[in-house]
Structure 1
């Protein structure tokens, strides 16, 4: 009797299955994963980038760059003007006192300090510019206190004082140091005028000494 194609196909599949079942099992071969050795060469692009990033530092070190700084100990002959606002005088007097004590501590002679009183912080920049252009002073301190109120007057005065002092220094070519407090309330101001936050007037004076020394001895 002839074997039908379907029967022949089924017998072939059964024979193949028997061979696969009797074959020994083999563990699957893990895919090879390579890790770069620490000593292997890095891609040329990465090496070039790393070298480029180090070039400015190496060049500066090789050139022996010069660093200019002001001094707090070499104050001989330095002259200062202090522009202080009378508005919020309870605060500005304390700031002025802190500045004068700092000058004394760093051996700035009293005869080399001129104190100029103006009505408020808004008037500070024009006085600072005039003093700077006189050529008599090595630095100008600008001391005031602006305290936030119920209107936008605070923002106008604070912004005008800050930009005005900056422009005064730029136009006069003399350091004009910004020492105007801009606070939300009187407690904040008093804390920065000798309270727990220190005395910003003293900090302003120290900054002025350093800047005056830098201009006198290095940038003249």
Structure 2
């Protein structure tokens, strides 16, 4: 018996969204397919995007963190491909890029992770191709779903990481009478 995969219907956004696609084009043809899938999904949702490229998958989370602090994106699409080689570098890149994206997501960023981690080039081609598994489109769809959830539950505060102590106290209501603390 074959297992079927369920795909959620497209996210419904209350207003247009702006996404940043962060791509690591180490394997150029694979990255181009991932990007094409992501762009098509974003455009179909009526959203806009900017595209930047970084040297490798390890730099993707850093670029997203920088963009969150310094720009005005509603969500992010992380794209790249890591193919197993002869050394343990594969595990480092897979684990650390995924961990970085997950930590940013747990801080409230709306990120779709489309960094492929595969055994060989053939697996990467099938997963990246918009006419086959379309993992770039899937990552964009995930980011759009997270944006819709964030909007449903209220406005997000900007910033990544810990709040300065004064802001923590202000949120806790302890700075009502001393706004300069």
- TM-score, with length taken from structure 1: 0.62
Q: Does 1:117 align with 2:59?
A: no
Contact 1:140–1:175 (Cα < 8 Å) also in 2? yes
CA distance in 1, matches of 2:105, 2:33: 24
Distance 1:115 1:190, change over 3 A: same
- The 5 Å alignment of 1:1-220 reads 72-74=11-13, 76-108=15-47, 112-134=48-70, 136-171=72-107, 173-194=108-129, 197-220=132-155
Name the structure where helix makes up a greater proportion of residues. 1
If you compute each CA radius of gyration, which structure gives the higher value, 1 or 2? 1
Distance 1:196 1:79, change over 3 A: closer
Q: Encode CA deviations 1:176-206: one digit per residue, 9 max, x unaligned.
A: 2211000000000000011774110001111
Distance 1:113 1:195, change over 3 A: closer
Offset at residue 116 of structure 1 (A): 1.2
Offset at residue 89 of structure 1 (A): 1.4
Q: Encode CA deviations 1:87-114: one digit per residue, 9 max, x unaligned.
A: 1111111000000011112222xxx311
Kindly report the root-mean-square deviation, in angstroms, between the aligned alpha carbons of the 2 structures: 1.9
Other structure's SS at 1:216 match? helix
**Structure 2, unaligned runs of 5 or more:** 1-8, 156-181
Other structure's SS at 1:87 match? coil
Higher relative contact order (CA 8 A, sep 6+): 2
Distance 1:105 1:195, change over 3 A: closer
- TM-score, with length taken from structure 2: 0.75
Contact 2:33–2:130 (Cα < 8 Å) also in 1? no
Q: Relative to structure 2, which stretch is displaced further, 178-187 or 70-79?
A: 70-79
